[in-house]
Amino acid sequence: MPGMLDLILKAPVFGRLERASRIPGAHTNPLLDEIIDRLEDPTAPNNGLVQIAQDMGFYSTAAQAVHLKEHWLNDPPGNGFWQGINTEPIIRKGLAKACRVFRKHGHPFEFYWVMAGSQNASEWQMSISLAHKTTLVIFHTPRVPCQLPEVDSKTMWLSLEENGAVVVRPVHIPDDPLAPPEPDGKKKHKKHHKKKKHDKKKGPKPGPKKGKRKAAPRRRR
């Protein structure tokens, strides 16, 4: 039997969306208008959610796009994480709203996936919040099984009761070979080059510039 994912997660595509929103001027890029228009028009040809993501470069491999198509959108039916829930219109409208908030305020995206309840629960929502420095987007879904081995996250932690004791531990995340490496959470410090001080004791003292002579003092008569 597969294990269950922890209650909070950042999917690999979230990082790609966040990095794209941090490019200077991204909120005024005409591509953002195109994304919003396509998200709000699901009936147009070649305008599926997966196709939009591929066209905009958020999925670089076919395998990544298949994961969104089969597991998140349940297409074809039978392989989705949440059977019986039509997730695509919720995602489309939620992302369109998030893009509009980003376009208006310019606060870059921060995405999280928060799970609660059993796998058979029916609550599936998106929340979009304008925070002080970010546009916070959260997917609120029922829990799902994890088919991959799990490793400790380097950037997220949980405080919970486990095996009869309250513990604080890293979030367990899928060890996905297609996912980019997770940041280690450490700040990179810039190296500061110290300016060399000139030693006044060393070297000859600068003399008067050539071509200029000091005027001799006048004698009183």
pLDDT digits (tens, 9 = 90+) for 3-21: 778 889 888 889 999 999 9
pLDDT digits (tens, 9 = 90+) for 25-73: 999 999 999 999 999 999 998 899 999 999 999 987 777 789 899 999 9
Name the residue with tokens 């994912």: 5
Cβ 176 vs Cβ 148: under 8 Å: yes
Residues in the chain: 221
pLDDT value of position 1: 40
Mean pLDDT, residues 104-127 taken together: 92
pLDDT value of position 207: 55
Tokens of 120: 């058979």
pLDDT digits (tens, 9 = 90+) for 160-212: 898 899 999 999 888 876 565 656 555 544 555 455 555 555 555 555 555 55
Name the residue with tokens 């200077």: 24
* Distance in angstroms (rounded) separating the CA atoms of residues 19 and 56: 13
Average pLDDT value over all residues in the chain: 84
pLDDT over threshold 60, residue 84? yes
Cβ 180 vs Cβ 12: under 8 Å: yes
pLDDT over threshold 60, residue 87? yes
pLDDT value of position 119: 79
Cβ 137 vs Cβ 126: under 8 Å: yes
* Distance in angstroms (rounded) separating the CA atoms of residues 192 and 106: 32
Minimum mean pLDDT range among 93-97, 144-148, 183-187: 183-187
* Distance in angstroms (rounded) separating the CA atoms of residues 13 and 68: 10
Q: What is the pTM of this model?
A: 0.76
List alpha helices for 56-208, DSSP H: 62-67, 87-105
DSSP string, 94-135: HHHHHHHHHHHH-PPEEEEEEE-S-TT----EEEEEE-SS-E
Greater pLDDT, 193 or 96: 96
